[in-house]
Amino acid sequence: MKKQGKGIAAGFYPSGMSGGGDSSQAMVKVQPDGSAVVTVGSCDIGQGCKTIMAQITAEVLGIDYEAVKVVNDDTDNCPLSFGTFASRVTYVDGLATKMAAEDARRILFEVAAVMLECSEDELEAADSQIRVQGNPDKALSIGEVAGAGTFGMRKFILGLGHYMRDLAAMDPETCECDPFCTLAWAASYAEVEVDTETGEVDILRLVNSYDVGKAMNPTHLEGQIDGGATMGVGAAMSEDLHPFFPSLEFQPDNLGDYAIPTTMDVPDMESVIYECPSTNGPYGAKGIGEMTANTPGPAIVNAIHDAVGIWITNLPATPEKVLRALDAKGA
């Protein structure tokens, strides 16, 4: 007999290391042709680090995204970054990059103020120009300003940024503290079908909703949510790891033998992006990288319980575990 059930799960996740002290630096150099080079220490592991840092730089400098190059391929030559982990890169490196781009823009404004015979406070950067606010005819291209600054005024148009949240101080009387840079929220909804004769579980539908703060790149976000959800499905349904697996001799010892969900195993999925801006993230952004794999599993387990009234207390929910739980329930 096949029975269907529904389940939900919710959670939250911080960006960066709890307690403070999480550090990243960035450099933004504006070239004489008006393009920019961003140098950061966090590597891109598929989550889109290069894209986001380029977008932030382009936004601050008012230039095209295509005019920004991101360098993060050698920790010997790159500024300090604590690394690509803890769902921290968009938040921590993003803030450092924004600071560096603003510092570079400050130098550009110094040069442009002389060229346009105005004060720096009157200037804005947009549409690949530096112009007087409210007077679009009084403008220079970024390339003109950068070229004049580099060769005419002998300036090195290099902006520096360093973000590190202060350590969370604890109230000695109440023990209250604020250990998180920011919190992102998550929820997953699952529909499953359980075969009570074979113990097989078929995931019919999976909806994943995430509070991302600000969707810096919605397409990337949807890909990250779908990818994380697929990892969550693998952990929930098929990935049995030591020490819970009976013996190390049966463990895969290479990625070729490690079975993860393929496109044939992915259920009907829907990604829902919710924006509740962080008060201190870059443009309100939060980090959601890791938690995208966290809520699908509990939602699936709850749906199994709704369908057949059993609790799977350790993952994955293999047919054997489902049948043993059904037998125990019957007994």
Alpha carbon of 104 to those of 90, 146, 149, 161: distances in Å? Answer: 20, 10, 12, 10
- Which of 65, 66, 54 lies closest to 28, judged by CA? 54
Contact 34, 143 (CB under 8 A): yes
Chain centroid offset of residue 115 CA:
40
Helices (H), the chain: 49-61, 94-116, 142-147, 218-237, 296-308, 319-330
Helices 296-308 and 319-330 cross at an angle (nearest 10°) of: 40
What is the separation, in whole angstroms, between the first and last Cα of the chain? 18
Burial of 63 (0-12, 13-18, 19+ CB in 10 A): buried
**Residues constituting the chain:** 331
Q: Is 290 a catalytic residue?
A: yes
Q: Tokens at residue 239, please? A: 């990935």
Q: Tokens at residue 66, please? A: 């295509």
Identified catalytic residue from 144, 239, 275, 290:
290
Neighbours of 175 (CB within 10 A): 7
Which SS3 state, helix, strand or coil, does residue 25 take?
A: strand
Burial pattern 102-120, b for ≥16 Cβ within 10 A else e, equals bbbbebbbbbbbeebebee
Task: Please list the active-site residues.
Answer: 290
